[in-house]
Amino acid sequence: MMKKYIRLSIETEDKIGVTLKILGKIYSRHISLNSVEVFSKRVNIQIEDIESQEIKDITNDLMQLEDVISIKEIKLLEFEKSSKRLEAIIDSVDEGVIALNPKLEIEFFNDYSEKIFDYDKTELLGKNIKSFLGKSTNLIGFLEQGKNYDNIETFIQNERVEGRYLASGRAIKDDDGYSAGAVLTIKDYKKAKELADIVISSEDDQFKDIIGNSNAIYNLKKIAKAVAKSDSTILIRGESGTGKELFARAIKNLSQRENQRFITINCAAIPDSLIESELFGYEKGSFTGALNSGKLGLFKEADKGTLFLDEIGELSLTTQAKLLRVLQEGVVRRIGSSKEEKVDVRIICATHRNLEEMIEKGMFREDLYYRLNVIPLEIPPLRDRKEDIPLLVSYFVQKMNKKLNKSVGSTSMVFLERLMSYEYTGNIRELENIMERAMNLCEGAILSEEHLMLNPAKEKDNEKAFEIIRSEASLKKQLEDIEKQILLNNIETDMSIRKTAKKLGLSHTALINKLKKYNLKM
């Protein structure tokens, strides 16, 4: 049964000390005071439920104070109104919302959580979240470390439910950067996917294989969608393994040529002596080894469609000159023929090379560069968009579950942390290989650190941090060592207390206190 309270709003003169006088009167009556709100010319109080005569008595006492103007009973204090409004908003959303205190005890459990998890909130309030999430979840580590995360796929198993969910979490920190609790939002995985399938547009669907919600990828997709409808030449740049061909295919599928052919060629994979015949074709008997029937060439095969020239920077200067002519005049001439044939092809090309540097060295034609670089798209390497790694990991888990007939549901915190701190020279392709190795080694439902086979050379910058995590010290000592290492890494690079404080989300004073604690100096 909920405890009842009396709430009074006291209008006062705007004078110093009036609140203290009011509290003194309440104390003299031995009345239990629960809450106080102080405003300019108004004090709101919440006291224990008392008899009507006692209310009259305390009201008379307060009215005798020369600074009190009027008193009225109210239904709710201002903070209660705000809390009720917020609770109503949270209860109206189609996501489970769970608020935790620093001990990870449940302090709030919204209506939607009750519905999807089949619990009454009164059964869980005050209980540790671990008993609700179950042993198979990967969220405990994130919560204990005060980590923020978005749309992490997790497996929740307790006495009422068992299944896959998407969870996001935000750590609540005090002014000194210490944990003051956390808020979880949880969505049913199946329903979230069904909703995504319903609302997804045809444009977004073309980019479904390009995984990522970082600002860099979002903006890149936005530009790609905008230019897809035109026939302008596109130059996609990015390191090996970043997904250049995926972007090219998505653009083609959104273009006016979506129902026409999409021909791809890796210019680096074909010897220079054969590249011209592949691109432009040849007449029968043009050279030794030529097919008796001759060959159309990729430009003619892609007529009315799209030709994707991957690794365009590997073409010889001779082939570059012939490609330039095709782009300028829209005609090709097969090897061994004097006849020119018109072609209507949209060109999308890609490279990992620095074409500007190649131009300076005389290795790439400047006029061809300007013909190709009409619409440039730069795909960032994975190391520059690590916020996409959790989403990519979730995608590869689903993909490998089907491929390897596994039933992995989630990843441990350390597993994900090591992937986040790894330097990917091979980008997404390398991450996919790492995930496939890990999935092959995993026999249970959770991917853990023991399933990772990483290149030690690419983890050297994080070696000290992992030594700390694996040490025999107490949890408090390990956390302090990690905090010290983080501070040390940042002050060495920033050389500014204000800059470091802002980056770490600390107040200026809090950072100075931490530096003193660990005897660190800027």
SS (H, E, C) 175-230: CCCCEEEEEEEEEEHHHHHHHHHHHCCHHHHHCCCCCCCCHHHHHHHHHHHHHHCC
Which pLDDT score, from 0 to 100, does residue 403 have? 92
Contact 420, 389 (CB under 8 A): yes
pTM for this predicted structure: 0.57
* Among 102, 113, 189, 87, residue whose Cα is nearest residue 394: 189
Q: Homologous superfamily of 5-80 in CATH?
A: ACT domain (3.30.70.260)
Contact 74, 8 (CB under 8 A): yes
Which pLDDT score, from 0 to 100, does residue 155 have? 78
Q: CATH code for 212-378?
A: 3.40.50.300
pLDDT in tens, the chain (522 residues): 556 889 999 999 998 899 999 999 999 989 999 999 999 999 999 999 888 899 999 999 999 999 999 999 999 999 999 988 888 888 888 888 999 998 889 999 998 888 888 888 888 899 988 888 877 666 777 777 777 878 777 878 788 887 778 888 888 888 887 888 889 888 887 776 666 555 444 455 677 778 888 888 989 999 999 999 999 999 999 998 899 999 999 999 999 999 999 999 999 888 888 888 889 988 887 766 667 778 888 999 999 999 999 999 999 999 999 999 999 999 999 888 888 899 999 999 999 999 999 999 999 999 999 999 999 999 999 988 888 898 899 889 989 999 999 988 888 878 888 898 888 888 999 999 999 999 999 988 888 889 998 876 666 445 455 455 555 566 667 677 778 777 877 775 666 677 778 777 788 788 888 888 888 776
Which pLDDT score, from 0 to 100, does residue 199 have? 46
Query: Which residue shows structure tokens 């986040």?
Result: 420
- Angstrom distance (rounded) from CA 380 to CA 238: 6
- Angstrom distance (rounded) from CA 184 to CA 388: 20
Considering the domain 383-467, what is its CATH architecture? Orthogonal Bundle (1.10)
Contact 451, 414 (CB under 8 A): no
Structure tokens at 242: 């970043």
* Among 206, 234, 224, residue whose Cα is nearest residue 308: 234
Provide the residue ranges of all domains of the chain, joining segments of one domain with +: 5-80, 93-194, 212-378, 383-467, 471-517
Structure tokens at 39: 């405003």
**H or E segment to which residue 329 belongs:** helix 317-329
Burial class of 396 by CB neighbour count within 10 A (0 to 12, 13 to 18, 19+) = buried
Question: What letter represents residue 301's amino acid?
Answer: E
Q: Are strands 340-342 and 331-333 parallel, antiparallel or unpaired?
A: antiparallel
Contacting residues for 212 by C-beta, under 8 A, at least 6 apart = 218, 385, 388, 391, 392
Query: Which residue shows structure tokens 């008796």?
Result: 292
- Angstrom distance (rounded) from CA 254 to CA 225: 7
Considering the domain 93-194, what is its CATH architecture? 2-Layer Sandwich (3.30)
φ, ψ dihedrals at 405, nearest 5°: 60, 50
Structure tokens at 295: 């060959």
Query: At CA 75, angle to CA 70 and CA 81, rounded to 5?
Result: 110
Go through the chain and tell me how many residues it has.
Answer: 522
b/e code 127-151 from CB counts within 10 Å (16+ = b): eebeebbbebbbbbbbbeebbebeb
Burial class of 402 by CB neighbour count within 10 A (0 to 12, 13 to 18, 19+) = exposed
